[in-house]
Amino acid sequence: MEISTLATYHCLAFVWYFFVAYSITHIKTEERPSEVFLYGGQWKYLTVLNLVLQAVFYGVSFLADVLRLIKKLRCAKPVISSRDLLFSVLAFPVSTFVCISFWTLYTYNRELVYPKSLDGVIPFWLNHAMHTAVLPFALLEIFALPHRYPAKKKGLILLGFVAFLYISWVLWIYSVTGEWVYPLFALFSPPGLAAFFAASLAIIVSFYNFGEFLNRMIWGQSKLSS
């Protein structure tokens, strides 16, 4: 894509994610079911955190495009590096994980991840904006421009650290409230839950590797090194 086209796309994507994040975080208190949005509010859900992550990523991407348009290349380089790191380590694997894991569990038993009581609170379009559209956006970004991935060890360490922080947040909420962020977790024994978290981490790592593979397959090694 031309830089001006990329700038327009990234600006629109940023506005979209900002709007979706704003919409979910401003649901009226009296409309919320009693079993959700308690301790930690919406910030305990990976879906909502992902919306903020995507808004930050597209905001950084738009800034990089603008700096390139106005020929501020020295300033653009660190912003581009931050953009690529955000996309490779977090934006792509987390969006893919959110979409695929949510709809897999929803199909199996929606009460485990998205209780029916939410249907009267969260509009149909907002549900799909949070859980469906995130994957096409991530794939479109790969096709829009090449991204430089960090060294594999560095990328996986960063991804693992962020996963550890979120799991720690989930466990902290349980220790305070006695309630799990997702009803699904209540089905597991402590060893079973540890195995579930380990399997989830393995899956998100596979999405990281898949994103890197797609990036290299579409753009080629020479383009990524230029």
The structure tokens listed for 157 are 């360490």
- Any alpha helices (H) in the chain, and if so which ranges? 3-25, 46-69, 73-86, 92-109, 124-131, 134-144, 152-177, 190-225
Q: Give 74-106 pLDDT, tens digit per residue.
A: 888 999 999 999 999 999 999 999 999 999 999
Residue 148 CB neighbour total at 10 angstroms: 16
Q: Give 172-211 pLDDT, tens digit per residue.
A: 999 998 889 998 999 999 999 999 999 999 999 999 999 9
The one-letter amino acid at 56: V
Model confidence band, residue 72 (pLDDT cutoffs 50, 70, 90): confident
Residue 79 CB neighbour total at 10 angstroms: 19
Percentage of the chain exceeding pLDDT 70 = 92
* pLDDT tops 70 at residue 38: no
Q: 83 — phi, psi (to 5°)?
A: -60, -50
Q: Dihedral of CA 105/106/109/112: which sign? A: positive
Average pLDDT over residues 155-169: 96
Q: Give 107-138 pLDDT, tens digit per residue.
A: 999 998 898 888 888 899 999 999 999 999 99
More confident residue, 49 or 38: 49
* pLDDT tops 90 at residue 30: no
Question: CA-CA distance, 133 to 125, in Å (whole number)?
Answer: 10
Average pLDDT over residues 2-19: 94
pLDDT at position 37 is 53
